[in-house]
Amino acid sequence: MPIVTIGQQIGSGPRLAPVVAEQLGVPCYDDEIVTRAARRAGCSVASFRKMDERPPSMLSYLIEVMGVYGDTYRQWAPYAPLMIRPPTLERLVSSRRAKEAIEETIRAIAATGKAIIVGRGSQVILRGRPQAVHVRVTAPMEHRVTEVMRLHRLDRTTARNIVLKDDRRKAGYLKAYYGADLNDSRLYDLTVNTAILSPAQAVSLVTGALRGLEERGEGVSGEGVQPKKGVVHGISA
């Protein structure tokens, strides 16, 4: 069974990762990645969660560039006018350290040999790792907006803004830390379009592809990643 990363766009249907993991009998790591990474970074889960899959703030960028990593308020005093309130040391865990903690956590999980890993740049972090397969779950914008409207009983404008904001957040994270384009098809081995597949069909497609790879003992190198033969954008050829 390969290590599998799954990235799913907001509004593209029910979360596939836990269902795929259950059917394959392997653990699924999503929020637990944050819990483990927070422990590695030495801060609380609540504090770390504020940085989860978010590009660095301008303040954290300035702090890192200027090399200000002290543990006393005196060292932060010059920056007080920029802040709503003086930060605690916990809140000043650098964005760089948060990124490193996420990477260390994801690599440690991958080292176990069998897991479904959700998002957080895992498709880039594990790119080039033998026996790693990268899946993206997507749908057209209007389909996703309609789904968010239905789930949260929102008007179309509000729902669209939520979708766009979430897309920008995730794309910004990948671009800021890895210089990668979230929509680059070369990052993925299998793309599932939930606008044309039911949730059950989507799960069946992913699990079927993974079981087929396992039976043949195949993986991907991650260099010049191409979709698996016979599976193109969620359609079995």
Q: What pLDDT shows up at residue 146?
A: 97
Q: What pLDDT shows up at residue 218?
A: 55
User: Is residue 110 within 8 Å of residue 132, measured between CB atoms?
Assistant: yes
CA dihedral 114, 116, 219, 132 (to 10 degrees): -100
Q: What pLDDT shows up at residue 41?
A: 85
Q: What pLDDT shows up at residue 164?
A: 95
Q: How many CB atoms lie within 10 A of CB 174?
A: 23
Give dist(CA 199, CA 204) in Å, integer: 9
Q: How many CB atoms lie within 10 A of CB 207?
A: 18
Tokens of 133: 């397969």
Give dist(CA 113, CA 1) in Å, integer: 8
Handedness of CA 223, 229, 230, 232 (dihedral sign): positive
Q: What pLDDT shows up at residue 191?
A: 96
Report how far apart, in Å, the C-alpha atoms of 45 and of each of 41, 55, 90, 96, 101 are.
10, 18, 10, 16, 12
Q: Tens place of pLDDT for every residue, the chain, 237 residues? A: 779 999 999 999 999 999 999 999 999 999 999 999 999 888 888 878 877 766 655 444 443 434 434 444 444 445 444 444 444 444 444 677 888 999 999 999 999 988 999 999 999 999 988 889 999 999 999 999 999 999 999 999 999 999 999 999 999 889 988 999 999 999 999 999 999 999 999 999 999 998 887 776 655 434 433 333 333 333 332
Give dist(CA 232, CA 81) in Å, integer: 53
Report how far apart, in Å, the C-alpha atoms of 27 and of each of 62, 91, 94, 161 are.
38, 31, 29, 33
Hey, what domains does the chain have and what are their CATH numbers?
A: 3-27+114-236 (3.40.50.300), 39-95 (no CATH)
Q: How many CB atoms lie within 10 A of CB 218?
A: 12
What pTM was estimated for this model as a whole? 0.75
For tokens 């593209």, name the residue: 12
For tokens 């993986």, name the residue: 219
